[in-house]
Structure 1
């Protein structure tokens, strides 16, 4: 569902309401030290300094006990970095500034002839451009603030977590958007520190009304924390007593990773439900494994934690996994290119270093190399975006030890990949069926009983354009099948009819250009079934 992007300046009530609430609660610092020793006159320039902080609550999980939670006993006060500071008179902005990496700011404004002032810190950065909005309140930008007398010289602002011991106090719960902002700021700056990258604007939607339900996102029904390619925005869960993801840093960076893919790299993933042990479509296993690995690399913390309220007990709980060390018994029962756990640990092992690495892990590449692969060969591949295309692109980078990469892959039961199409790994190569020439007719065998985003329900066909119109038809007399034709990540033709009607698509092809046809089945019952595939070019 597309959600329109509304101007934040038309919805300043969010910031102003927060500012008044925080000032009344005394949550923005100690005003006793703020007086400047005399009243300033209208037109005078006044400089105000201060520090902006927020409460960060670590999400913890133990693989030994298989339990976790939000550790409110370990709360730390973190600086709000790179955030926009504003002096306002009502809805009029008198001055702008930003915080530094320690959360400090300095802002100068001219005293107006009349009227009261406020100073606010927005959950918004400019370099890179990220802002956290309330999707259930007209996309108003979150912020904290306080009143600003004309003789005030300092104003500290702090966003508290609002936890009361068993639930959140909604009137004191202001740290959430700043925690989300800081995790994404950390991710973006990590890449900006190693490559001259400019990120496009990112809008993040968080609300205490956001729940894992179906419906309108404006009402908080976001399904789950996710990146939405259709509107290029991220949505984060926030419902107290249900699921709150704002302090789940790995979840936040994972979703930011999908934003990175969509805007700077490429993802051909079909999305949908997935989990450890699933035999996924390799586009999906790569995308989810990459998101988990990226979070572990950037934060940096190998333990991925996602907190949630238990539906059984109603208590705050968590689940998690280690991106570096698999548990015993393994959480990866089907290792290989179709496993998101395997992909995650391969990518993490390709990055990490240290004296305690396993014998099979003798590689270590910097984040800059990952950026180069993601924005270069992974983005431009004629194949689909899988572990195969990533590894083959990585091996083309300067200084890569191919033998060491192959040894690492072998530990996770992945073959010595030699092409974007998975040559060298039997299972990945098998999902790609080469089409030597057209006309082409064949039967494809799929297996039902699993979701449509699993390996068993998908098969790819690789063919070359003729420079003429091409016709593709896929049919099954008893089951629903869909078709998509890709050209370097762009769907140039697709058929999504429900039921057993044949899917027929036509498109104008480019000569000597490779295309990938994806045939996806939807049989719900267990068992194999077939579909006929026809590719012609009159």
Structure 2
């Protein structure tokens, strides 16, 4: 049994298009009878499995690890399986939910036969590629003898006790694939969903450093909106995320947002206790919460290598927040958001404040409904408003949950009912408009203290938006989440742009401070129209 990227099946690098052309070039369901020797059809059956290594965490010791001694065999589900003879594909199928397969093929008189399992599913379409090897698809294979009728294939984790044996580190791409398949199938079980094809990039050379992604410098495990692809860390001794299921599904959740829902999150650093811009508070809280919901497993664990070897950190989406866990609860806390989402989903039988058990279907409906089309920014306010407008749950029960996490009884996408959320939006009733506000350089640009929103209605005329400060600021104008105007010189605090507006359309202007002088500073905004 051997493992390699798919290009190595041919002894040369092939583009993805060429690989797909080869994979689909055999008519009749993949059988190829043009063997030149009139061979006898053969049938091969078996099961494909992989090692799943649990990521553990204890809140008592604030530590954990990858528990290789607790590894279990799991089926490789819906994966593409092929019989090859040299570079020719003789038959293709997909594994079942139990990892089983059956293939009938007709071999030529000569040529080595192999069974190859690709880190690729067909429904939905997900494939795991090596971004450091010409984006080739990961695969594992075994030789087939002329008398083979049964062949089971297993992907091992390759851990020897203190290091990975590279040639046996086969399970990683299949573990990643299976976590994302689990996430997608959970939604498909409750709603009719068509997911766009997804490419996931994993390599044992992917390190937590920025630079050339083709060389493995991916910064962190992340979803890239511009590429619509996911990158996962894999460097031994630095950070390996292939068995961190919650991390993987968190990033898959951002892919879901980008393709079926919407996210206005500015991105950037975030963590426990941060008072975030509400866009990122929702985006990251949603990512954590949706991972706990879809897997389903409430304990979120992220492992990494430290000075003392493998360790981890984590949190339980079901556990009541503590001062040390969520010291600044509310609409600007990602921890409050992910626990609120989980409580909206689950039954909460032991929690008097949780009388809501929506399940996954209504959450999906809210995400692809008003959360996608809201004229406001995407925040917990737009999501809660979507749920309330669907009338699938008692508003009073939702408000009780909101109060549990120090949020007011939200009644609109603009956060009315919660003074902190509504306070980030400033209504502009008429133009021209000008104001001066205060930003705080003690915080990064994605924190609440560095952002302010202004809302106005388009009149069908051109508007000019300007900002001025002694420090670095930027401005962006949104219409239903789409940026229609933007200015940030990265040098001065004077920014301006002009755009044509649509009659009766709502626009949100976001003023962001980028300077970090560790002092409060003023910034003025003006919106004018001829």
Q: Please indicate the TM-score interval, normalised by the length of the shorter structure.
A: over 0.9
Give me the whole-angstrom Cα distance separating, in 2, the residues matched to 1:338 and 1:228.
23
Question: What TM-score comes out, normalization by structure 2 length?
Answer: 0.93
- Which residue of 239, 242, 252 maps to 2:238? 242
Name the counterpart of 1:260. Answer: 256
In structure 2, C-alpha distance between the alignment counterparts of 1:367 and 1:415, rounded to whole Å: 24
Report the CA distance between 1:328 and its aligned residue.
Answer: 4.4
Q: How far apart in 1 are the matches of 2:178 and 2:475? A: 40
Structure 2 equivalent of residue 511 of structure 1? 503
The aligned residue for residue 385 of structure 1 is: 378
Residues 1:77 and 1:515: Cα distance change in structure 2 (over 3 Å): same
Query: Is 1:339 matched with 2:333?
Result: yes
Match of 2:128 in 1: 132
CA distance in 1, matches of 2:423, 2:74: 50
How far off is 1:11 after superposition? 2.8
RMSD: 1.7
1:21 — aligned with what? none
1:417 maps to which of 387, 406, 410: 410
- Are 1:145 and 2:124 matched, yes or no? no
Measured at CA, do residues 286 and 354 of structure 1 come closer, stay the same or move farther in structure 2, by a change above 3 Å?
closer
For 1:499, the equivalent position in structure 2 comes to 491
Q: For 1:142, what is the secondary structure of its paired residue?
A: strand
Matches within 5 A, 1:302-313: 302-310=298-306, 313=307
CA distance in 2, matches of 1:43, 1:414: 71
1:370 and 2:363 aligned:
yes
Contact 2:91 2:103 in 1 (8 A): yes
Map of 1:353-364 to 2, 5 A cutoff? 353-356=347-350, 358-364=351-357
Unaligned runs of 5+ in 1: 1-7, 18-40
Matched, 1:465 2:473: no
2:147, 2:279 → 1: CA distance?
A: 59
Give the C-alpha shift of residue 251 in structure 1.
0.3
- Between the two proteins, the alignment pairs up a number of residues equal to 505
Contact 1:449 1:523 in 2 (8 A): no
Secondary structure (helix, strand or coil) at the match of 1:165 reads: coil
- Of 232, 255, 271, 2:267 maps to 271
Gaps of 5+ in 2: 14-36
Structure 2 residue 78 is the aligned partner of structure 1 residue 82: yes
Determine if the alignment matches structure 1 residue 181 to structure 2 residue 177.
yes
Q: Distance in 1 between matches of 2:251 and 2:516?
A: 29
Where has structure 1 moved over 6 Å in runs of 4 or more? Answer: 14-17
Q: CA offsets per residue over residues 222-279 of structure 1, 9 Å max, x none?
A: 0000000000000000000110000000000000000000000000000000000000
Residue 354 of structure 1 and its aligned partner are, at CA, apart by 4.6
What does residue 172 of structure 1 align with? 168
Q: Distance in 2 between matches of 1:75 and 1:269?
A: 36
Name the residue aligned to 1:116.
Answer: 112
- State the distance in 2 between where 1:404 and 1:216 align: 49
State the shift of 1:330 in Å: 3.3
- Give the superposition deviation at 1:14: 8.7
1:474: which partner in 2?
A: 467
Residue deviations 1:482-523, cap 9 Å, x none?
Answer: 111111111111112112241111111101000100000012
2:440 is aligned to: 447
Aligned partner of residue 414 in structure 2, secondary structure = coil
- State the alpha-carbon separation in 2 of the partners of residues 80 and 153 from structure 1: 20
Distance in 2 of aligned mates of 1:92 and 1:537: 66
Kept in 2, the 8 Å contact 1:12–1:91? The answer is no
State whether structure 2 residue 524 is matched by structure 1 residue 532. yes
Cα distance in 2 between the residues matched to 1:327 and 1:64: 15
Give the Cα separation in 1 of the matches to 2:248 and 2:435.
44
Do 2:462 and 2:499's aligned partners in 1 also have CA atoms closer than 8 Å? yes
1:485 equivalent among 466, 477, 481:
477
Secondary structure of 2:390's partner? coil
Is the CA contact 2:442–2:520 (under 8 Å) kept in the aligned structure 1? no
**For the residues of structure 2 that align with 1:354 and 1:474, how far apart are their CA atoms?**
47
Query: 273-282 vs 139-148, which deviates more?
Result: 139-148
CA contact (8 A) 1:12 1:141 kept: no
- Tell me how far apart the structure 1 counterparts of residues 454 and 221 of structure 2 sit (CA, whole Å): 33
Q: Which residue of 2 aligns with 1:408?
A: 401
TM-score by length of 1: 0.91
Q: CA deviation at 1:314?
A: 3.8
Partners of 2:45 and 2:64 in 1: CA distance: 39
Matched with 1:201 is 197
CA contact (8 A) 1:483 1:495 kept: yes
Worse-superposed segment, 466-475 or 338-347: 466-475
Give the counterpart of 1:319 among 294, 313, 317: 313
CA contact (8 A) 1:11 1:139 kept: no
1:446 shift after superposition: 1.0
Contact 1:466–1:537 (8 Å) recurs in 2: no
